Amino acid sequence: MKKLLLSLLALTSAVLLAQQPPQAPAPHIPTEQEKNLARQAEIDEQAEQTRARAAEEQKVLPPAPVSIDNADRDLGFIYMMEQRDFQFVLTNTSEEPLAYKDIAINCSCTTSKISGHGTIPPKGKLVIPLHFNAQKVTDFGDFIRDVIVFFDKYAAAVMYFRGNHSMDIKLTVMRPGDTRPHLVTSVPIGFVPDIYMKWFETINITAEFPEGKELEIGTPFFTNKRFTAEVKKIQKNYYQVIVRPILPMDYGPISGSLRIPLVKPTNQGYIMLPLNGTVGTLISCNTDFVYIDPTTEHGVVTKILTLTRFPYENREALIARAMGNPNPYMRFVEILEPKDMKTKEAPGVKFSYTQGKAGVYVHCDIDTDKMTEEGIDVVFEALGSAPCTVKFARMTEELRKTMEEQEKIRKEIEQEALEEEKQNPGVIVE
């Protein structure tokens, strides 16, 4: 392990001392559609094996003593972002317990919480609850999927569900400067700079039914109780859902979803839109702990911390970081200034602030005689941002020795790496 670590350090040194390598291309972050396609391709491959297994069993094993309620279920039209719950019911028609060992659902669009194995009592029922998510369907038009139940001593039982993934209902938003609405698969809240900021987002829901059907939506509700929704019927087949927050909002990435029931034309499913955005900023410190070493530090000592203001990260920010780009919300964040700071003092510590390039320097005047090993937690607060906490404490003898040992090991590794590099410049020694 040590030799490998030294080799890695030597390689790093060689690269830095030599020329700068060409910048690697940013990694590709798959879109939701690409993820769904990849997942469906994997499931399709597994499904072929599952169907072949079921077909083989049906050749050599007797049929299972079951009756199935609506074994070929037509879901009808399924609309963009719609989710629907349905079930298959198998009845054991025999006088004996019927053991099943696997339930295969051959579609990434459908999930179930039921256990994959169990026993159906004599004359009893097995209910297979299914949750269908149209967002996971990779294309539009007719589709058919199957659910297969495998038994211990009998041939597999196969059930089908089919439907038509339709674009007759569309969800759109209009942004300032937009010339036309664009489709959405979430409530695009984006960055909200302040927890007290009033804002709203309007989701347009329109339908174009060639059959002359009518759209009607029910009362929306949120899985996140910090939001409200107002429904306006603009005209036939055109609704607006206006999303507003309940103030003050919570700092951080916004979680939860907006659920919109589809009363007409089907009264079977609902549209589910995840809430996509983040609220406010947080204060970050360059350290979580400030220790006083009683063997070397006496009286009043001064230590300097650095506080910086950052936006929270949601999915968009994480994708940007993975691609080597900055947080897209950073351009909205104001640099932290001394006037923003609210923390005044703490037992045994006095604070003063000066402006830095990226944030605030905190000058901590610490009375070492008042520091204990238990320490104190100091909360650094700033206007408009979530606070951060730093612990101030007297260093224990055990901790001091541990830190000294870690520092000694770090220096030894650095020295050995330098010597290795001098002997074998640019070469990794196995």
What are residue 378's DSSP bridge partners?
390
Would you say the CATH fold of 281-395 matches that of 169-279? Answer: yes
Q: Are 348 and 392 in contact (CB under 8 A)?
A: yes
Helices 2-17 and 397-423 pack at an angle, to 10 degrees, of 60
Residue 6 contacts by C-beta under 8 Å, 6 or more apart in sequence?
413, 416, 417, 420
Whether the per-residue pLDDT at 111 is higher than 70: the answer is yes
| The pLDDT value given to residue 315 | 79
| Half-sphere exposure in the Cβ direction for 67 (13 Å, CA) | 7
Strands (E), 255-375: 257-264, 269-279, 281-285, 289-292, 300-311, 345-346, 349-355, 359-367
Q: What is the pLDDT of residues 144-172, one digit of tens each?
A: 999 999 999 999 999 999 999 999 999 99
End-to-end CA distance of the chain: 11
* Cα–Cα distance measured from residue 180 to residue 241, given in angstroms and rounded to the nearest whole number: 18
Residue-level pLDDT at 139 = 85
What mean pLDDT value characterizes the chain?
Answer: 86
Q: In what order do the strands lie in the sheet with 182-183?
A: 182-183, 169-173, 201-207, 238-245, 227-235
Give the residues across from 341 on adjacent strands: 382
Residue 425: pLDDT band with limits 50, 70, 90: low
What are residue 127's phi and psi, to 5 degrees?
Answer: -100, 120
Which segments of 121-256 does DSSP mark as H helices, in order? none
pLDDT of 73 over the 80 cut? yes
Least confident stretch, 58-62, 76-80, 235-239, 240-244: 58-62
Whether 349 contacts 364, CB under 8 Å: yes
Q: How far is the C-alpha of 395 from the C-alpha of 398, rounded, in Å?
A: 8
* Nearest CA among 41, 259, 273 for reference residue 138: 41
What band does 363 get if pLDDT is binned at 50, 70 and 90?
A: very high
Q: What pLDDT is attached to residue 175?
A: 82
Contacts of 178 (CB under 8 A, 6+ apart): none
Q: Which CATH number among 3.30.420, 2.60.40, 1.10.10, 1.10.405 corresponds to the domain 281-395? A: 2.60.40
Span 366-388, average pLDDT: 93
Instruction: Report CA 142 to chain centroid distance, whole Å.
Output: 31
Can you give the pLDDT at residue 423?
Answer: 76
> pTM value?
0.72
Q: Phi/psi at 37 (nearest 5 deg)?
A: -65, -45
Nearest to 380 by CA among 400, 396, 360: 360
* Range name among 14-28, 55-69, 338-352 with the lowest pLDDT average: 14-28
Angstrom distance (rounded) from CA 316 to CA 329: 9
Please name every residue paired with 393 in a beta bridge, in sequence order, or none if there are none: 291
pLDDT tens for 282-338 read: 999 999 999 999 889 999 999 999 999 999 988 788 888 888 888 888 888 999 999
pLDDT value, residue 426: 57
Contact, 202 vs 241, CB < 8 A?
yes
Q: What percent of the chain has pLDDT over 70?
A: 88
DSSP E strand boundaries for 265-341: 269-279, 281-285, 289-292, 300-311
Q: 17 pLDDT band (50/70/90 cuts)? A: very low
Question: In this model, does residue 281 exceed pLDDT 60?
Answer: yes
CATH topology of domain 169-279: Immunoglobulin-like (2.60.40)
Does 29 have pLDDT greater than 90?
no
Report whether pLDDT(234) > 50.
yes
Whether the Cβ atoms of residue 18 and residue 421 lie closer than 8 Å to each other: no
C-alpha 390, offset from chain centre: 28
Quote the pLDDT of residue 44: 67
pLDDT band for 369, please (50, 70, 90 cuts).
very high
pLDDT of 409 higher than 80 = yes
Average of pLDDT values for 180-197? 92
For residues 409 and 403, give the distance between their C-alpha atoms in angstroms, rounded to a whole number.
10
At 214, the amino acid letter reads E
Looking only at the bridges linking them, the beta strands covering 281-285 and 300-311 are antiparallel
Specify whether the CB–CB gap between 187 and 275 falls below 8 A: yes
Strand bridging mode 182-183 / 216-217: unpaired
Q: What is the average per-residue pLDDT within 8-37?
A: 48
**pLDDT (0 to 100) of residue 196:** 94
Q: Where does the pLDDT of residue 28 fall: very low under 50, low under 70, confident under 90, or very high at 90 and above?
A: low
Amino acid at 195: I
Asked whether residue 15 carries a pLDDT value surpassing 60, the answer given is: no
State pLDDT tens for residues 389-404: 999 999 988 888 888 8
| Range ranked top by mean pLDDT from 38-42, 103-107, 136-140, 239-243 | 239-243
Mean per-residue pLDDT, 199-209: 95
Q: How far, in Å, CA of 289 to CA of 391, rounded?
A: 5
Can you tell me the mean pLDDT for 399-418? 86
Q: What is the pLDDT of residue 22?
A: 46
Domains in the chain: boundaries: 33-166, 169-279, 281-395
Q: In the structure, what pLDDT confidence band is assigned to residue 418 with cuts at 50, 70 and 90?
A: confident
Phi first, then psi, for residue 8 (nearest 5°) are: -65, -40
- pLDDT for 14 beyond 50: no
Question: Is domain 33-166 annotated with CATH 3.40.50.970?
Answer: no
Structure tokens at 362: 């905190």
Rounded Cα–Cα distance for residues 136 and 356 (Å)? 48
**Residue of 251, 310, 296 lying closest to 278 (CA atoms):** 251
CA 42/CA 39 separation, integer angstroms: 5
**pLDDT tens-digit series, residues 334-348:** 999 999 998 878 899
Q: What was the pLDDT predicted at 430? A: 44
Q: CA 23: distance to chain centroid?
A: 29
